[in-house]
Amino acid sequence: MKIQIRKSDSILIATILEERFDATCAPDFIVVMKEWLDDNSVQIILDFSHVDFIDSTALGVIIKSFKWLRQADNGNGELALCSVNNKIMSLLQLTRMDRVFPIFSDSQEAIKALAESK
Amino acid sequence: MSSHESYYLQLIIPSDKEDSRLIGRAVYSFCLHMGFDDVQSYQIELATVEVTHNIVGHAYRNCPDCVIELHAQGLNDRIIFTIIDKGEPAEFAFSSCCPVDPDDAIDALPESSMGLYIITSVMDTVEYEVYEQSNILTMMKYLPKS
């Protein structure tokens, strides 16, 4: 799975470079997320600007990651989403996960929000 | 689409989750052609992909040597998908109840089993039957009113 990462202070921004984030690549994502956690990255932004399709398996691994991060750093870890297109937003709304995940219009807005929350 | 036309699409793919991408892309294009917008087409694509994932994982138990058939029919007012496999019959209940309650504790959020809910929510009707050793799932969605 192709993911580009960069850091803004302690915040890790992961841009998913796959057009389809689905059952085929979801197992790879969870391995990478575990590595980030082991590396003490506990504020993570997932940038979906390159993603056009996600399925329920991908949504499941994002939920798993969200739980891991919320438990990390004595409950201070955070996972946010940004640059979600209308299709993916419709799935988040259908599953009500739009009311659970912090979702921002772009990575700059997400970085600002996570930096202020610390 | 004129009122006299109907369209038909047939695909046969190996029982591999990666190959469900072929069905997804074809269904998305078919739905756009039939007059659904990009979000509706994505949701219908997603429903068919979720069906194929269930077939691969449950009916065929991840054996990649089997096949999945998809037939899509576009009519004047609706689109109908028939998805056929010859794996183990499914024992599931389609649910229209969202598995996520945003007010629940984070630990209670589901990490799986959302596919059936998505299928039921997106499509207008979903029917499943077993006929002569074939599992046949039929899903219908009305076209948007212009």
Does residue A63 surpass a pLDDT of 90? yes
Query: In this complex, is the C-beta atom of A73 within 8 Å of any C-beta atom belonging to chain B?
Result: no
Question: Which pLDDT value is given to residue B2?
Answer: 53
As a three-state string, the secondary structure of chain B is: CCCCCCEEEEEEEECCHHHHHHHHHHHHHHHHHHCCCHHHHHHHHHHHHHHHHHHHHHHCCCCCCCEEEEEEEECCCEEEEEEEECCCCCCCCCCCCCCCCCCCCHHHCCCCCCHHHHHHHHCCEEEEEEECCEEEEEEEEECCCC
Is the model more confident about B112 or about A108? A108
Contacts of B115 in chain A (CB under 8 A): 55-56
B93 touches chain A (CB under 8 A): no
Share of chain B above pLDDT 70, in %: 97
pLDDT tens by residue, A7-50:
999 999 999 999 999 999 999 999 999 999 999 999 999 999 99
* Arithmetic mean of pLDDT, A53-62: 97
- What average pLDDT does this structure show over B23-29? 97
A24 shares contact with chain B (CB less than 8 Å) = yes
Specify the pLDDT at position B97. 81
**Predicted local distance difference test score (pLDDT) of residue B103:** 83
* Alpha-carbon span A51 to A86, nearest angstrom: 11
Q: Does residue A46 contact residue A80 with C-beta atoms inside 8 Å?
A: yes
In angstroms and rounded to an integer, the radius of gyration of the C-alpha atoms of chain B is 16
* Partners of residue B24 in chain A, C-beta under 8 Å: 20, 53
pLDDT of residue B4: 52
Mean pLDDT of chain A: 96
- Cβ contacts of B111 on chain A, cutoff 8 Å: 60-61, 63-64, 67
Count how many pairs of residues, chain A against chain B, have C-beta atoms within 8 Å: 80
What is the amino acid identity at position A9?
Answer: D
Task: Give the closest residue to A89 by CA, choosing from A48, A29, A32.
Answer: A48
Decide if A96 touches B, using CB distance below 8 A: yes
Residue B66 reports pLDDT greater than 90: yes
pTM of the model: 0.94
Query: What is the ipTM score, two decimals?
Result: 0.94
pLDDT category of residue B93 using cuts at 50, 70 and 90? confident
Q: Are A18 and A50 in contact (CB under 8 A)?
A: yes
Task: State the pLDDT at residue B27.
Answer: 98
CB-based contact (8 Å) between A74 and chain B? no
